[in-house]
Chains A and B, each alone.
Chain A
Amino acid sequence: MKSPAPADLQRWSEDVARDATSLSFLPLARAYRRQGRRDAALRLCLRGLEHHPDNVEGHSLLAMLYFESGQRVKAYDEWSMVLTLEPDNFDALRGMGFYYLEQEDHIAAKRHLERAAAQKSSDPAVQEGLRIISERLGEATAEPAPALDLIDEPWAEAPASPAARGVQATEVVQPVRAVQAPAAPPPAPLEPRPAPAAPPAPAPATAPESFDDPRRIFDPILKGGQILGALILDNQGLVMGGSLAGTVGGQAEALGAILGPAIEEALRTAQHLSLGGWKGALLEADAAVLHFSPVRDGMIVLLAAQKNAPTGWVLRSAQQASAIATRFLEVYS
C-alpha cells in the first residue's frame, strides 16, 4: 500500500490535535502502524473509539494492532465488536477464525472461516485455514493437536476490502506466510509447534455476535472478570437483554426501577447546565462501579463492574456494551 504523503500526515495530525472527535484518527493510526509505531497507533485508535464507539474500521484496526502485539484476547474482543456491528465483516470473520483455530476450537474456527470464504472465496489464508481444520477434524481420535503459527506473523496489507466503510479503505489482514506458500506441502509456519501459553480467558462456547440468547449478548465484554455484566433496561425498568453476575446478579430486575429516578435527574442536570444531551453516568460506589447510558426509545444500558475495575476500562466496556445494545435493538425492535 502506498505510504501517505507527509502533507496528509500533517493534516491528519492537526485534525486530531484540534478535534478529538475527528475521524482522521483512522488514517493517521493506519499510517503509524505502517511506520511500525504500533503504540502510537493503538493510543490513537483507543481515543478515537471513545468518540466513535460504533466505528467498524476503528475496531478492526485496533484488533489488528492488538493481534500484532500478541494480545490475542483483546484482538478477539475487538473482532467480536466488529462482528456485532457488521456481522459479515470479512476481516473480523477471518481473524476470529484463526483465533479459534489457535484455541483448537475447530468447530467455531470452521464456522467463521466458512463465513469469511463466502465473502471472499479466493483468500489464500482462509483456504489454508479451512484445509487445516478439515485435516484436524479428520484426526478426531489422534493426539490433541498443538496450536499453529498461522497468525503469529505481522499481517500484510492488501487492497481495500469491498466491505470497508468510512473515510479510508480497510487494510485487509493476512497471515503473511500463508499467503506466500499456501500450496502443499504445508509451509514451515504451518507445522505444529508447542502450544503457547493459554490466553487469560477461554473462548466462549457460542459465537459472540449471535443474539440467539438475549441474556448472553454482552458475553464478548465479560472477559477478565472485571465486568460483572450489563443489562438493557427499557423505559419501564424491565430487562430486555443481558445479565449480571456475582453479588449484583440477583438485583438485575430491581435495578431498572431503582435507577429510574436517577436517570431522569441526570437528563435534567445535563439539560439545565447546557451540556447538551447526556451520554452516560459513571457511579463509583463502595461495592461496585456502575455505568448507565441511553441507547434509544428511552432505554438504557447498565454496566456493572468490580469496585476496583480501572475507570478507563469500565468506560470503554460501557461503550462496547452500548454498541452491542444498539445493534441488538436494531435487530429486535
Chain B
Amino acid sequence: MSDIFAEAVERLSRVPGVRGALIVETDAGVPVLAELAEGVQGDVVAALASSLFRRTNSAAQTANFGNLRTLQLEAEVGHVVVANGGDLLVVVVAEKNAQLGQVRLEAHRAAEGLQ
C-alpha cells in the first residue's frame, strides 16, 4: 500500500510548478506521506488543508450538494488542490503558474487509488 502512496506522491511532485504533494489523514489532519520543496512545512499544510476540506465538505453536505470531490484554493501566489480519497486526502501545493490541469488530473488519479 505504501508503494501506491509513494508512487502517487512522486508522480504529483514531478508535475511542473508543484511545490508539495502529500497524502493526509482526513480526520486527523496529519501527513501520511509527503514530497515537499524546501520551505514547505508538511505538518502545517496537512493540518490547514484537511481542516479547510472538512469545513467545505460539511458546507457542501449541508447545502445538499453531496460530498466534495475536489477543493481548489486559488491564492495570489499559488494554489492548493485537495482531492477526496475517503479516509485520506491528496493535497497538492502548487505555484501560481503550475499546470493546474495536470495537477488536478494526477490528484484525482491518486485519490481514486486511495479509495
Contacts and interface: CB of A to CB of B under 8 A. Distances in A.
**Most chain B C-beta atoms within 10 Å of own C-beta, residue among A278, A286, A293:** A286
Interface residues of B, number: 34
Given A265-B56, A286-B65, A287-B64, A278 B77 contact: no
A279 B78 CA distance: 10
A191 B78 CA distance: 54
Interface in A275-297: 275-288, 290, 293
Contacts of B80: 269-270, 273, 275
B69 interface: yes
Given A284-B68, A285-B65, A285-B67, A273 B74 contact: no
B97 interface: yes
B44 interface: yes
Contacts of A286: 65-67, 69
A20 interface: yes
Contacts of B37: none
B13 interface: no
A9 interface: no
Interface stretch (A95-103, A156-164, A175-183, A256-264): A256-264
A257 to B, nearest CB: 9
**Most chain B C-beta atoms within 10 Å of own C-beta, residue among A248, A277, A290:** A290
A259 B68 CA distance: 13
B74 A282 contact: yes
Given A259-B59, A280-B74, A281-B56, A287 B65 contact: yes
Contact of B69 (A270, A273, A284): A284
Contacts of B62: 258
Given A258-B59, A261-B55, A283-B56, A272 B75 contact: no
B93 A254 contact: no
Contacts of B4: none
Interface residues of A, number: 35
Contacts of A265: 51-52, 55-56
Given A281-B72, A287-B65, A275 B77 contact: yes
B60 A279 contact: no
A275 B75 contact: yes
A278 B75 contact: yes
A262 B49 CA distance: 12
A273 B55 contact: no
A251 B64 contact: yes
A290 B73 CA distance: 12
A203 interface: no
A279 B55 contact: no
Interface string B25-57: 000000000000000000011001101100110
B107 to A, nearest CB: 11
Contacts of B72: 281-284
A269 B55 CA distance: 12
**Most chain B C-beta atoms within 10 Å of own C-beta, residue among A247, A278, A284:** A284
A258 B56 contact: no
A181 B56 CA distance: 60
Interface string A201-220: 00000000000000000000
A281 B48 contact: no
18 contacts: A247-B64, A258-B59, A258-B62, A259-B63, A268-B48, A273-B44, A273-B75, A275-B77, A275-B80, A276-B78, A278-B73, A281-B73, A282-B74, A283-B60, A284-B71, A285-B69, A286-B69, A293-B74
Interface of A: 20, 247-248, 251, 254-255, 258-259, 261-262, 265-266, 268-270, 272-288, 290, 293, 311
Interface of B: 44-45, 48-49, 51-52, 55-56, 58-60, 62-80, 93, 96-97, 104
Given A255-B63, A272-B48, A283-B70, 8 more contacts: A261-B55, A262-B55, A270-B73, A270-B75, A276-B76, A276-B77, A277-B76, A278-B74
